[in-house]
């Protein structure tokens, strides 16, 4: 099970539609990508790319101008998608993902509000950040790093993510 999840996450990351990527015209849209993989893979993959996108935006000083509008667009695309015809499983995956992406957008808004400009700023490093490295998925927060356990998470619903549940 763990090997299968790892393989699926790895393969999904390789075909994730990156905005502005030179081969973007050959990739499937993100709205199709989120429906093409199991829920746990989609959520982990979106977290990896959110971490990458925020880190790159901080390094390039492009948090306000590029990243925040991109996150709004991605969230809007998911909301449009969830309003359409979907299977019960697809709706469950998208509902969980939307809650996570609303939280991700709120984190980005807070980084903008606090004028965070470095990937080493505490407001950024205190967030749960997902990295695919050494052929495995790692989660970091502050100076701690954990190997993602690939435990089955299911498609459980989430109401909200608050600063308290974040901790």
Q: How many residues does this entry show for the chain?
A: 167
* DSSP letter, residue 146: E
Q: Is the pLDDT of residue 151 over 90?
A: no
CA angle 142, 7, 37 (to 5 degrees): 90
Q: Which residue from 98, 53, 107 is spatially nearest to 77, judged by alpha carbons?
A: 98
Q: What is the pTM (predicted TM-score) of this model?
A: 0.87
Residues 6+ apart with CB under 8 A from 56: 62
Q: Over 50: is that where the pLDDT of 26 sits? A: no
Residue 20 has pLDDT above 80, yes or no: no
Contact 133, 114 (CB under 8 A): no
Averaged pLDDT for residues 101-109: 93
Distant-in-sequence, close-in-space partners of 16: CB < 8 Å, separation ≥ 6: 27, 30, 33, 45, 49
Ordered by where they begin, the domains of the chain are 2-166 (1.20.58.1120)
pLDDT computed for residue 152 by the predictor:
73
pLDDT of 22 > 60? The answer is no
How far is it, in rounded angstroms, from Cα 5 to Cα 27? 22
Q: Tell which wins on pLDDT, 47 or 25.
A: 47
Give dist(CA 91, CA 19) in Å, integer. 24
pLDDT at 38: 92
Q: What is the pLDDT of residue 24?
A: 47
């Amino acid at each position: 099970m763990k090997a299968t999840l790892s393989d699926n996450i790895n393969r999904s990351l390789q075909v994730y539609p990156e905005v502005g990527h030179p081969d973007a015209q050959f990739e499937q849209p993100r709205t199709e990508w989120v429906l093409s993989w199991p829920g746990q893979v989609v959520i982990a993959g979106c977290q990896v790319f959110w971490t990458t996108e925020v880190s790159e935006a901080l390094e390039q000083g492009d948090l306000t101008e590029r990243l925040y509008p991109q996150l709004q667009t991605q969230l809007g695309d998911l909301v449009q998608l969830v309003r359409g015809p979907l299977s019960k499983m697809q709706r469950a995956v998208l509902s969980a993902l939307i809650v996570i992406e609303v939280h991700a957008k709120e984190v980005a808004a807070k980084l903008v509000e606090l004028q965070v400009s470095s990937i080493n700023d505490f407001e950024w490093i205190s967030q749960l950040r997902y990295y695919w490295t050494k052929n495995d998925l790692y989660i970091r927060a502050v100076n701690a790093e954990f190997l993602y356990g690939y435990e089955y998470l299911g498609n459980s619903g989430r109401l909200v993510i608050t600063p308290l549940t974040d901790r």
